[in-house]
Amino acid sequence: MKIFSALTPGFALPIITVLHLLDERRSHLAEIFQRRLPITVKEVDDKEIIVPGTLYFAAPGYHVSVEEDFSLSLSREERIYHSRPSIDILFESAADAYGPRLAGVLLTGANQDGARGLAMIKHHGGFTVVQDPRLAHAPTMPEAALALHMPNHILPLHDIGQLLIELERTAC
């Protein structure tokens, strides 16, 4: 919530969020965040077009990909690092679709998912941010990302929300 609490009414960038959750349970994150944020929050629907100013949450048990037409697709392919949804699948597909117009943020986590995808975002000219692993609850993900590439920023969690606001100002 710390990151997203910085978002203001009219925030114009889409944000797609992947969390590693148990896929046997329905997630209520979209409903919880919608009550607390001034932007639209929803769970990803298959084949929907990405809408600016919307915070999307990946559904438990489904990988999320960004297609060339900037729609989102869901799949039940094999788990990556024991995870479905996979951060790598989202980041890699988004890097292909958006190229240098993409920003990726990788936070705390207990496996290497997301590190390879974040490196791909950087390779495509995108903007990358890694949570400072010294301050992360589970530093494995940020450390894995730093082992593969040097991001544009390494930040504590509480500074990332403000960075999103700055990115929006420069992008719009």
Contacts of 84 (CB under 8 A, 6+ apart): 23, 61, 62, 63, 76, 77, 78
Return the pLDDT at 25: 81
Helices 87-98 and 115-123, packing angle to 10 deg: 10
Question: What is the C-alpha to C-alpha distance for residues 13 and 100, in angstroms, rounded to an integer?
Answer: 15
d(CA 4, CA 73): 24
Q: What is the mean pLDDT of residues 142-153?
A: 98
User: Can you give the pTM of this predicted structure?
Assistant: 0.96
Peptide bond into 85 cis (omega under 30): yes
pLDDT above 80 (res 24): no
Q: Is the pLDDT of residue 1 over 80?
A: no
pLDDT band at 148 (very low <50, low <70, confident <90, very high): very high
Confidence of residue 166 (pLDDT cuts 50, 70, 90): very high
Taking each helix axis as running N to C, give the angle between helix 115-123 and helix 140-148, from 0 to 180 degrees, rounded to the nearest 10. Answer: 40
Which pLDDT belongs to residue 23? 80
Percent of the chain exceeding pLDDT 70 equals 99
Burial 135-156 (b: 16+ CB within 10 A, else e): ebeebbbbbbbbeebebeebbe
Sheet holding 40-43, edge to edge: 15-17, 54-57, 40-43
The domain locations on the chain are 4-171
Q: Are the C-beta atoms of 7 and 164 separated by less than 8 Å?
A: yes
Please compute the mean of the pLDDT values over residues 129-158 and round it to a whole number.
Answer: 98
pLDDT in the model for residue 75: 98
pLDDT at 153 over 90: yes
Q: Say whether pLDDT at 15 is over 80.
A: yes
Q: What is the pLDDT of residues 74-115, one digit of tens each?
A: 999 999 999 999 999 999 999 999 999 999 999 999 999 999
> Under CATH, which number does the domain 4-171 receive?
3.40.50.180
Q: Which long-range contacts (CB under 8 A, 24 or more apart) does 81-87 make?
A: 81/111, 81/112, 81/113, 82/111, 83/20, 83/111, 83/113, 84/23, 85/18, 85/19, 85/20, 85/58, 85/59, 85/60, 85/61, 86/18, 86/113, 87/18, 87/113, 87/114, 87/117, 87/141
With 80 as the cut, is the pLDDT of residue 172 above it?
A: no
